[in-house]
């Protein structure tokens, strides 16, 4: 009798968890529909946000653009550095130092995002401004860095802060993968007289490639969903601007708390609709990453 | 594998004279000096950006110099290896740099305002030109909200972990495992949005700390499940079998043998889960709303919390707002560090016994 109750509780908890996932999708969808219906033709392509005016005009294209651009900047910066850290911890640092440094990277992950936002706004922005000017002066011929630099609350700054925030997850996952490389593979390469770099290039990186890909996707998922740090660091605007050193831009996630307080009726619905889009995107990214990792596990064992 | 360099006869016969160990260090110091001199000569503007620029420049100079010195003597393969080693080391430095800067600026700017007064006063009735007030209302809110979230998420997460380890078979268990992982990737704003739509829009509740707890617990459950699952798996099967052989029912075996054996690890996981959600801001914006007064009742009315306090103050222009935000940030970081420290101490204290 007690057994049945207890196992029932345990199964129930598992089912509840799946139900919550389903409920998130269903309830967001239900509440998003009125907003989408109000501007059904343009809600994907429009670049403004006036859902409460009549007629309701709003669209997520500028937000989606900002989300993708800031996440891409973050990935471009974070991926090589994170892989370097993972290699450092798994293959370069002395054992004791590696443990200590692993803890340090975990600490990077533990710092709340709002503190990153505060730091990004008050300390980092003013300090990166000279660098932004320098990029603009020297590399302004690249369209990405062209335009007028008039402050540091830009996509570029947001991207760098995001990069720092997603470093730990990419580093942690790829470190795990690097540690799983069979010793025999590495020793075989060493026996052939390979240097440490050649061992890594010929056995560690090829073996870990699926793991690295999923680590990058997990980082991407986190970057896409980061809200408060972006809301603090970026001076938001509804524009589609490729010049990442110019102020402005916005992301789906950051737009929600920024516009939430004033939103009524359609406005709320529109915000919920944008949240639904974000949910679907991050869900797809995370599921893909998990599927790759799961497949890898079967292969290893 | 095919890219591996074929060892030629020459490679075996050629005697390699490695560089003396002090030489790379000397080159590094020289590179630092050169980079600094170059930047001074160009006259780049000051600040932390300059230090960073100098470091990056020094790194590049070092890589080039080491390759130039090493290649003729040790061969290009070893030279390449040295350069990669340098790059890997600098990656690490690059990651530690923001952490140090973040902690340093939080301590530096937060310490001045972090007084007993700050911890024991709310912002009620504090005008924009008063250097008064504190985070008391926010601290109360954070403690209550995170406490309630823990009350929901810890038993639930533990039960899911028990299900996965002790009972889970087949498609349902695989599905739960998969979605626990996927759930860790849900953006916190989406969790807040979900609670908002369900409870405030559809069911018509008002803002309250409890709704914030519900959103936080959605974010907390997967972390608790993941860590508890690992810990429960570590409990040796012989213990379970011995207990079952004595005729103890399954559920009693789990409650009185499995869980106590894993308790230290479970506590560690829970601590880390708490540390993770205690700084979540986005879902609270949508569920608990803002207030400047103390509200000790988490079930009724808007309630402040430390992350929200930081978020609202960070964007205010008055000169007294920023120091308060930093002081609150320091409080929050200290709490998170403390939780991490306790968790790691428990994990470390438990480690020798596991062997």
Supply the DSSP string of chain A, one letter for each residue.
-HHHHHHHHHHHHHHHHHHHHHHHHHHHHHHHHHHHHHTTTTTTT---EETTSSS-EE-SHHHHHHHHHHHHHHHHHHHHHHHHHHHIIIIIS-HHHHHHHHHHHHHHHHS-HHHHHHHIIIIIHHHHHHHHHHHHHHHTTSGGG-S----S-BHHHHHHHHHHHHHHHHHHHHHHHHHHS-HHHHHHHHHTT--HHHHIIIIIHHHHHHHHHHHHHHHHHHHHH--HHHHHHS---S-----TTSB----HHHHHHHHHTT--HHHHHHHHHHHHHHHHHHHHHHHHHHHHHHHHHHHH-
B47 shares its domain with B160: no
Residue A301: predicted pLDDT: 38
Whether B84 and B155 share a structural domain: no
User: Who's near B156: CB < 8 A, 6+ residues apart?
Assistant: A13, A16, A17, B217, B221, B224
Nearest CB to A81 within list B1, B95, B163: B95
A282·B185 Cβ contact <8 A: yes
| DSSP letter (8 states) at residue B203 | S
Chain A: give the shortest CA distance to residue B63, in Å.
15
Task: Out of B4, B88, B180, name the one closest to residue A84 (CB).
Answer: B88
Which one has a higher pLDDT value, B176 or A143?
B176
Whether residue B209 sits in one domain with residue B153: yes
Structural domain contains residue B197: yes
Residues from chain B contacting residue A129 (CB–CB below 8 Å):
49
More confident residue, B319 or B187: B187
Residue-wise pLDDT for A167-177, tens only, equals 999 999 999 88
pLDDT digits (tens, 9 = 90+) for A145-156: 888 888 888 899
**pLDDT value for B46:** 53
Q: What is the DSSP string of B280-323?
A: --HHHHHHT---SS----TTSB----HHHHHHHHHT--STTHHH
Question: B95 and A206 in contact by Cβ < 8 A?
Answer: no
User: If you measure CA to CA, which chain A residue comes closest to B99?
Assistant: A108
How does residue A22 score in pLDDT terms, banded at 50, 70 and 90?
very high
Say if residues A247 and A150 touch (Cβ distance below 8 Å): yes
Do B171 and B90 sit in the same domain of this protein?
A: no
Q: Is residue B153 one of the residues assigned to a domain?
A: yes
Residue B12 lies in a domain: no
**A31-to-A16, A26, A268 alpha-carbon distances in Å:** 22, 9, 9
| Separation CA B76–CA A214 (nearest Å) | 33
Domain-terminating residue out of B45, B79, B112: B112
State yes or no: pLDDT of B45 exceeds 70. Answer: no
Question: What's the pLDDT at A145?
Answer: 86
Tell me how close the Cα of A108 comes to any Cα of chain B, in angstroms: 6
Query: How many angstroms separate the CA atoms of B154 and A89, rounded?
Result: 32
**The two structure tokens encoding residue A289:** 């990453």
Tokens representing residue A89 in the block: 């911890």
pLDDT over threshold 80, residue A297:
no
Sign of CA dihedral B201, B207, B211, B212: positive
Q: How is residue B208 annotated by DSSP?
A: B
pLDDT of B355 > 50? The answer is no
- Whole-number Cα distances in Å, A263 to A41, A59, A258, B315: 21, 15, 10, 20
Residues B100 and B140 grouped into a single domain: no
- Statement to judge: residues B275 and B315 lie in one domain: yes
Mean pLDDT of B122-147: 87
Q: Do A279 and B190 touch (CB under 8 A)?
A: yes
Same domain, B169 and B307: yes
Please give the pLDDT value at position B3. Answer: 59
Q: Looking at the structure, do residues B108 and B151 belong to the same domain, yes or no?
A: no
Share of chain A above pLDDT 70, in %: 98
Q: Where among B56, B80, B112 does a domain terminate?
A: B112
Query: Using one digit for the tens of pLDDT, what is the confidence trace for B110-121?
Result: 998 888 888 888
The region of weakest confidence among B18-27, B282-291, B335-344 is B18-27
Q: Report if residue B245 sits inside a domain.
A: yes
User: Which among B16, B39, B88, B224 is the top mutation candidate for probing chain A, defined by the most A β-carbons within 10 Å of its own β-carbon?
Assistant: B88
Residue B130 lies in a domain: no
Partners of residue B164 in chain A, C-beta under 8 Å? 14
Gap between the Cα atoms of B23 and B40, Å rounded:
26
Q: Tell me: pLDDT of A254 over 80.
A: yes
What lies within 8 Å, CB to CB, of A102 at 6+ separation is: A89, A175
- Please tell me the distance from the alpha carbon of residue B162 to that of residue A10, in angstroms, as a whole number: 7
CATH of the domain at B294: 1.10.3720.10
Q: Structural domain tally of chain B?
A: 2
Q: Report the alpha-carbon distance of residue B124 to residue B304 in Å, rounded.
A: 12
Query: Are B173 and B259 in the same domain?
Result: yes
pLDDT for the residue A80: 93
Q: Regarding predicted confidence, which is higher, B33 or A222? A: A222
Mean pLDDT over B72-76 rounds to 80
Closest CB to A275 among B164, B189, B280: B189
Interface test with A, best of B314, B323, B334 (most A CBs within 10 A): B314
What is the residue-averaged pLDDT of chain B?
86
For residue B252, tell me if it sits in a domain: yes
- Does B168 reside within a domain? yes
Q: Do B193 and A196 touch (CB under 8 A)?
A: no
Query: How does pLDDT run across A203-214, given as a tens digit for each residue?
Result: 899 888 888 999
Range of the domain at B274: 135-350
> Scanning every residue of chain A, which has its alpha carbon at the shortest distance from the alpha carbon of B54?
A131
Asked if A252 contacts A230 with a C-beta cutoff of 8 angstroms, the reply is no
Specify if B13 maps to a domain: no
Global ipTM: 0.90
Question: How many other β-carbons are positioned within 10 Å of the β-carbon of residue A137?
Answer: 10
Domain boundary, last residue among B112, B143, B168: B112
| Start-to-end C-alpha separation, chain A | 38
Q: Are residues B299 and B255 in the same domain?
A: yes
What's the CA gap between B93 and B89, in Å, rounded?
7
pTM, full prediction: 0.89
- Cα separation, B276 vs B259, in Å, equals 23
CB contact under 8 A, B92 and A84: yes
Same domain flag for B39 and B88: yes
- The verdict on a CB contact (< 8 Å) between B189 and A118 is no
Same domain, B54 and B140: no
Q: State whether B176 and A101 contact (CB < 8 Å).
A: no
């Amino acid at each position: 009798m007690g057994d049945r109750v207890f196992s029932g509780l345990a199964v129930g908890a598992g089912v509840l968890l799946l139900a919550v996932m389903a409920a998130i999708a269903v309830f967001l969808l239900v509440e998003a529909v009125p907003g989408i219906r109000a501007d059904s033709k343009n809600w994907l392509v429009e670049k403004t946000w006036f859902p409460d005016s009549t007629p309701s005009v709003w669209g997520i294209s500028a937000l989606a653009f900002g989300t993708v651009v800031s996440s891409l900047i973050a990935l471009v910066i974070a991926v090589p550095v994170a892989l370097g850290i993972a290699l450092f911890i798994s293959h370069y640092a002395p054992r004791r130092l590696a443990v200590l440094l692993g803890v340090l990277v975990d600490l990077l992950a533990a710092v709340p995002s709002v503190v990153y936002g505060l730091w990004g706004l008050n300390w980092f922005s003013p300090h990166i401004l000279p660098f932004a000017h320098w990029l603009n002066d020297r590399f302004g011929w690249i369209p990405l860095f062209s335009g007028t630099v008039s402050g540091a609350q830009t996509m570029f700054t947001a991207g760098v802060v995001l990069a720092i925030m997603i470093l730990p997850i990419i580093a942690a996952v790829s470190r795990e993968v690097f540690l799983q490389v069979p010793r025999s593979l590495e020793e075989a390469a060493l026996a052939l007289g390979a240097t440490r770099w050649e061992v890594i290039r010929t056995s560690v990186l090829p073996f870990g490639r699926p793991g690295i890909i999923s680590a990058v996707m997990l980082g991407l998922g986190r970057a896409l969903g980061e809200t408060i740090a972006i809301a603090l660091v970026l001076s938001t605007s509804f524009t589609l601007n490729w010049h990442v050193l110019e102020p402005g831009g916005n992301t789906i996630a950051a737009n929600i708390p920024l516009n939430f307080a004033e939103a009524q009726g359609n406005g709320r619905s529109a915000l919920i609709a944008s949240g639904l889009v974000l949910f679907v995107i991050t869900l797809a990214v995370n599921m893909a990453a998990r599927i790759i990792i799961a497949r890898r596990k079967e292969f290893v064992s | 594998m095919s890219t591996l360099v074929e060892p030629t006869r020459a490679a075996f016969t050629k005697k390699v004279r490695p560089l003396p160990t002090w030489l790379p260090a000397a080159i590094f110091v020289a590179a630092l000096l050169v980079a600094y001199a170059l930047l001074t000569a160009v006259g780049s503007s000051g600040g932390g950006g300059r230090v960073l620029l100098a470091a990056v420049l020094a790194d590049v100079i070092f890589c080039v110099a080491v390759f130039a010195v090493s290649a003729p003597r040790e061969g290009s393969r070893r030279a390449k290896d040295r350069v990669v080693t340098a790059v890997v080391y600098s990656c690490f430095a690059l990651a530690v740099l923001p952490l140090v800067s973040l902690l340093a600026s939080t301590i530096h700017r937060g310490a001045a305002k972090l007084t007993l007064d700050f911890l024991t006063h709310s912002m009620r009735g504090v005008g924009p030109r008063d250097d008064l007030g504190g985070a008391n209302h926010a601290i109360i809110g954070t403690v209550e909200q995170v406490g309630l979230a823990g009350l929901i998420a810890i038993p639930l997460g533990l039960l899911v972990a028990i299900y996965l380890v002790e009972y889970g078979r087949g498609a349902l268990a695989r599905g739960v495992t998969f979605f626990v992982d996927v759930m860790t990737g849900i953006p916190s704003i989406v969790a807040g949005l979900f609670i908002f739509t369900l409870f405030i829009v559809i069911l018509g509740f008002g803002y309250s700390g409890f709704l914030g707890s519900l959103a936080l617990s959605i974010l907390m459950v997967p972390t608790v499940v993941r860590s508890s699952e690992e810990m429960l798996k570590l409990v040796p099967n012989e213990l379970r079998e011995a207990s079952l052989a004595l005729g103890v029912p399954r559920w009693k075996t789990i409650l009185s043998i499995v869980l106590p054996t894993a308790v230290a690890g479970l506590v560690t996981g829970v601590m880390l889960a708490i540390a993770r959600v205690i700084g979540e801001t986005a879902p609270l914006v949508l569920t608990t709303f803002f207030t400047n007064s103390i509200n000790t009742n988490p079930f009724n009315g808007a309630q402040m919390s430390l992350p929200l306090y930081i978020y609202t103050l960070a964007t205010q222009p008055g000169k007294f707002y920023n120091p308060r935000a930093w002081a609150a940030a320091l409080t929050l970081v200290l709490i998170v560090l403390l939780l991490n420290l306790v968790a790691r101490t428990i994990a470390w204290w438990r480690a020798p016994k596991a062997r």
